[in-house]
């Protein structure tokens, strides 16, 4: 499942992603968030994806779109260092969030914005909940 591009654009605008900042996508799928981050916001991108076929498709997409400021890694985001993120995007099931609170508290830098699509974090209160036109899912914005 991929986040609709319109929702990604809205998410990155809500997070105030700026040129030169670094966007992380935890569970980066086809890398579409990171490609939009680079092409439309001028951001660098880092993604982590455990699924092999989708990881390969993300590498192909990055090559085809010439997304030179984006790197994707085939590993769990639980094994990644999140301390360089300015904005973190996630579209994950609530189960995949388990254990993330401790990692966020110890690693992400103050001022980092976190935005989730569809599932809110259980451990933080959103600063903003954003409805999307013609969709049931919402965006949830948090600030570290
Ligand atoms: C619903 S998809 C979202 C893909 C993309 N972020 C998007 O919004 O279009 C969630 C992805 O997270 C990946 N994933 C789940 N748990 C993960 C983990 N611990 N580390 C890395 N990837 C993970 C899954 O393989 C899946 O491709």
Phi-psi label, residue 118: left if phi above 0, alpha if psi -120 to 50, beta otherwise: left
Apex 49 CA angle, 140 and 59, nearest 5: 115
**CA of 90: how far to CAs of 35, 64, 66, 98, 142, in Å?**
15, 23, 23, 13, 12
Q: Nearest C-alpha to atom 1 of ligand 1 is from which residue?
A: 1
- Structure pTM? 0.98
Most ligand 1 atoms within 8 A of CB, residue of 3, 7, 29 to mutate: 29
Q: What is the pLDDT of residues 6-31, one digit of tens each?
A: 999 999 999 999 999 999 999 999 99
Select from 99, 7, 45 the least CA-distant residue to 121.
99
CATH number, domain of 35, equals 3.40.50.150
Burial 14-39 (b: 16+ CB within 10 A, else e): bbebeeebbbbbbbbbbbbbbbbbbe
* Structural domains of the chain, count: 1
Most ligand 1 atoms within 8 A of CB, residue of 2, 26, 27 to mutate: 27
Q: What is the pLDDT of residues 102-129, one digit of tens each?
A: 999 999 999 999 999 999 999 999 999 9
pLDDT category, 45, cuts 50, 70, 90? very high
Q: Which atom of ligand 1 is nearest to the CA of 78?
A: 19
* Separation of CA 98 and ligand 1 centre (Å): 14
Apex 43 CA angle, 70 and 53, nearest 5: 30
Q: What is the span of the domain harbouring residue 68? A: 5-143
Q: What is the pLDDT at residue 14?
A: 98
For the chain, give the percent of residues with pLDDT over 70.
100
pLDDT category, 2, cuts 50, 70, 90? very high
Segment 32-61 mean pLDDT: 98
């Amino acid at each position: 499942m991929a986040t609709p591009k319109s929702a990604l654009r809205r998410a990155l605008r809500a997070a105030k992603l700026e040129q030169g900042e670094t966007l992380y996508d935890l569970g980066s799928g086809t890398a579409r968030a990171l490609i939009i981050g680079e092409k439309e916001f001028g951001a660098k991108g880092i993604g982590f994806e455990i699924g092999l076929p989708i990881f390969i498709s993300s590498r192909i997409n990055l090559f085809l779109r010439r997304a030179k400021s984006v790197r994707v890694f085939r590993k769990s985001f639980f094994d990644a260092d999140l301390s360089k993120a300015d904005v973190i995007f996630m579209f994950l099931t609530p189960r995949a969030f388990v254990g993330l609170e401790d990692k966020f508290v110890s690693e992400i830098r103050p001022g980092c914005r976190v935005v989730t699509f569809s599932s809110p974090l259980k451990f933080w209160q959103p600063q903003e909940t954003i409805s999307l036109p013609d969709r049931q899912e919402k965006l949830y914005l948090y600030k570290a």
